[in-house]
Amino acid sequence: MRPMEQRTILVTGATDGLGRALAADLAGRGATVLVHGRDDGRGQATMEEIRARVPGARLHWYRADLASIDQVRELAAAVAAEHKGLDTLVNNAGIGTTVPGGGARQESADGHELRFAVNYLAGFLLTRLLLPVLRSAAPSRIVNVSSLGQAPIDFDDVMLVKDYSGVRAYCQSKLAQVMFTVDLAEELAGTGVTANALHPATYMPTKMVVATPASELSEGVEATSRLVTDPALDEVSGRFFDGTRPAQALEQAYDPGPGPGCASCRSR
């Protein structure tokens, strides 16, 4: 891959937690970082904080609510219009098991179960729309921030209308991310674009986590940054990592049958 000073990297969900720390890390390495979030105030604060730590940091702000398919499309269009090539897309934005909204089932602006919409469908669509600029910058990378918390998907009730729980919604969305990663790696073989997924760390101290933290945020940053920057991974694709270690997702992730793509998303 090109030197970090020549790379452009989009990090979704970059105004809090892992995304914010990762954006700062990558800016510190010299990359141009596209900072995504859904609040202009938090976006401005994030960029000010990074510039205080990294004078001269090259940052660009993009606002979009990933619970809206239209806004995902607008985000992709804005990035593609302003950057001829994208070296790395980090699909990091996500919703935890109970935040926001507690234990009640919620829907996105388009009527999809909220966690599936934000954690999986948004990244699926954004990746698809940005493939042309990723291809133009090849060798390039797609990094999907998933989790060891995974649950099999019931394709008769993907939106969990019949049997909802926040934990199940979160865990099936994370398995779907790995499914997409495996399928995408096969599709993109030979193009110079790789796709990998990871569980960055366990119970990091972020607003998404309601349990007692078990890992430092720096552990998640290190693991995720490695998938973005390590030249040893130039030819590695379709893999799932637990931190920095190769791991296996649930068996369903490797099933060659139809994946959980959203026909309504593809048609809009």
Q: Using CA atoms, how far apart are residues 147 and 35, in angstroms rounded to an integer?
A: 22
What does the pLDDT look like over 173-197, one tens digit per residue?
999 999 999 999 999 999 999 999 9
Q: What is the pLDDT of residue 259?
A: 57
What are the tens digits of pLDDT across the range 84-135? Answer: 999 999 999 999 998 777 789 999 999 999 999 999 999 999 999 999 999 9
pLDDT score, position 265: 36
pLDDT recorded at residue 162:
95
Give the integer Cα–Cα distance in Å for 161 and 111.
Answer: 11
Give the residue numbers spanning the domain of 194: 4-267
State how many domains the chain has.
Answer: 1
pTM of the model: 0.92
Query: Would you state the pLDDT for residue 99?
Result: 74
| pLDDT of res. 92 | 98
Q: For residue 152, is the peptide bond before it cis, meaning its omega torsion is within 30 degrees of 0?
A: no
Q: Which of left, alpha, beta for 101 (phi over 0: left; psi -120 to 50: alpha)? A: left
Residues classed as catalytic: 170
Look up the CATH number of the domain holding residue 227: 3.40.50.720
Tokens of 32: 């141009």
Q: Is 262 helix (H, G, I), strand (E, B) or coil?
A: coil
Per-residue pLDDT of the chain (268 residues; tens, 9 = 90+): 899 999 999 999 999 999 999 999 999 999 999 999 999 999 999 999 999 999 999 999 999 999 999 999 999 999 999 999 999 999 999 999 987 777 899 999 999 999 999 999 999 999 999 999 999 999 999 999 999 999 999 999 999 999 999 999 999 999 999 999 999 999 999 999 999 999 998 877 665 554 555 679 999 999 999 999 999 999 999 999 999 999 999 999 999 875 565 433 333 3
DSSP-assigned states of every residue in 60-116: EEEE--TT-HHHHHHHHHHHHHH-S--SEEEE-----SSTTTTTS--B-TTSSBHHH
Q: How far is CA 107 from the centre of its chain?
A: 20
- Residue in 58, 51, 130, 43 with CA at minimum distance from that of residue 91: 130
Sole residue written with tokens 């309601």:
210
